[in-house]
Amino acid sequence: MPPKEDFFSLLNNVHKRLFPYLTLDELHSMKLTTKQIKNIVNSYLYATNKLCILKMPPNIKYTIDSIQNLDQIIVARCENIYNKSPDECTIHLQTQISYNTRKGRISSTIPLKALKKIGEIGIKIVLSITVDPNGLSEKELWEVWRSYNILIAETLKLLPTIESLEIIFLNKSIREVEDEKWFEDISKSLKNLQHLTSLSISGRIYWNPVLICISSMSQLTSLSVCDSWIPEVEFITCISSMTQLIHLNISKATLSGDALFNCLAIIQPLSLGFFSAKIIDMDIMEFARRLNLYIPGLVKLKLSNSYVDSEQIYESLSLLRLPNLTSLDLSNNFFDTNAMFFQNEIIPQIIKMTNLTSLDLSHNEIDVKVLLPLLNALNNLVDLNLKDNSITSEDILVLIPTLQKMPFLSSFNISSNKLDQDTINELKKQLRRVKKLDTSDNSLEDDVE
Residue 324: per-residue pLDDT: 80
Q: What is the mean pLDDT of residues 126-138?
A: 87
Cα–Cα distance, 86 to 20 (Å, whole number): 14
Q: Residue 272's pLDDT is what?
A: 60
pLDDT tens digit string along 1-10?
444 445 445 5
How sure is the predictor about 46, in pLDDT bands with cuts at 50, 70 and 90?
A: very low
Phi, psi of 394 (to 5 degrees): -60, -40
Give the length of the chain. 449
Using the predicted structure, report yes or no on whether residue 47 has a pLDDT greater than 80.
Answer: no
Q: Does the structure show a pLDDT above 90 at 31? A: no
Mean pLDDT over residues 6-17, rounded?
54
Please tell me the distance from the alpha carbon of residue 369 to that of residue 346, in angstroms, as a whole number.
15
Domain spans, the chain: 1-51, 326-449
Going by their DSSP bridges, the two strands 90-100 and 105-108 should be labelled as antiparallel
Q: How many CB atoms lie within 10 A of CB 323?
A: 11
Check residue 193 and give its pLDDT: 96
Mean pLDDT, rounded, for 112-116: 95
> What is the pLDDT at residue 1?
42
Alpha-carbon distance of 59 to 43, in angstroms, equals: 32
What's CA 121's distance to the chain center, in Å? 27
State how far the Cα of 271 lies from the Cα of 175, in Å rounded to an integer.
29
| Mean pLDDT (whole number) for 175-189 | 81
Average pLDDT in the 393-406 region?
93
Q: Give the Å distances, CA to CA, from 213 to 48, 62, 126, 192, 235.
A: 39, 33, 20, 11, 12
Given a contact cutoff of 8 angstroms between Cβ atoms, the answer to whether 90 and 54 are in contact is yes
What mean pLDDT comes out for the span 351-369?
89
**Residue 189 buriedness (CB in 10 A; 0-12 / 13-18 / 19+):** buried
Q: State residue 25's pLDDT score.
A: 56
Among 246-260, 283-297, 341-355, 420-434, which is the least confidently predicted range? 246-260
Identify the band that residue 154 occupies on the pLDDT scale cut at 50, 70 and 90: very high
CA 194 to chain centroid, in Å, comes to 22
pTM of the predicted protein model: 0.71
What are the helix (H) ranges across 159-207? 184-191
Q: Which residues of 20-31 are buried (b: 16+ CB within 10 A; e: fewer)?
A: eebebeebeebb
CB 108 within 8 A of CB 151: yes
Residue 49: pLDDT above 60?
no
Least confident of 188-202, 243-257, 262-276: 262-276
pLDDT of residue 136: 81
Predicted pLDDT of residue 166: 96
Distance CA 430, CA 397 (A): 10
Give 436-442 contacts, CB < 8 A, sequence gap 24+: 436/410, 436/411, 436/412, 437/411, 437/412, 438/387, 438/412, 438/413, 438/414, 439/414, 439/415, 440/415, 440/416, 441/415, 441/416, 442/414, 442/415, 442/416, 442/417, 442/418
Count CB atoms within 10 A of the CB of residue 130: 16
What was the pLDDT predicted at 251? 67
Phi, psi of 437 (to 5 degrees): -115, 110
Is 172 within 8 Å of 141 (Cβ atoms)?
yes
**Residue 275 reports pLDDT greater than 60:** no
- Fill in the DSSP letter of residue 418: B
198 forms bridges with which residues in the sheet? 164, 222
Q: Which amino acid, 138?
A: E
Look over the chain and give the mean of its residue pLDDT values, rounded to a whole number.
81
Which fold, 326-449? 3.80.10
Instruction: Give the confidence band of 11 by pLDDT, cuts at 50, 70, 90.
Output: low
Q: If you average pLDDT over residues 98-116, what whole number do you get?
A: 88
CA 263, CA 154: separation in Å to the nearest integer? 34
pLDDT above 90 as % of the chain: 35
pLDDT of 411 strictly over 80: yes
Q: Taking 90 as the threshold, does the pLDDT of residue 215 lie above it?
A: yes
pLDDT score at 301: 83
Q: Tell whether the model's pLDDT for residue 188 goes beyond 90.
A: yes
Tens of pLDDT, residues 318-328: 788 888 888 89
pLDDT at 40 over 90: no
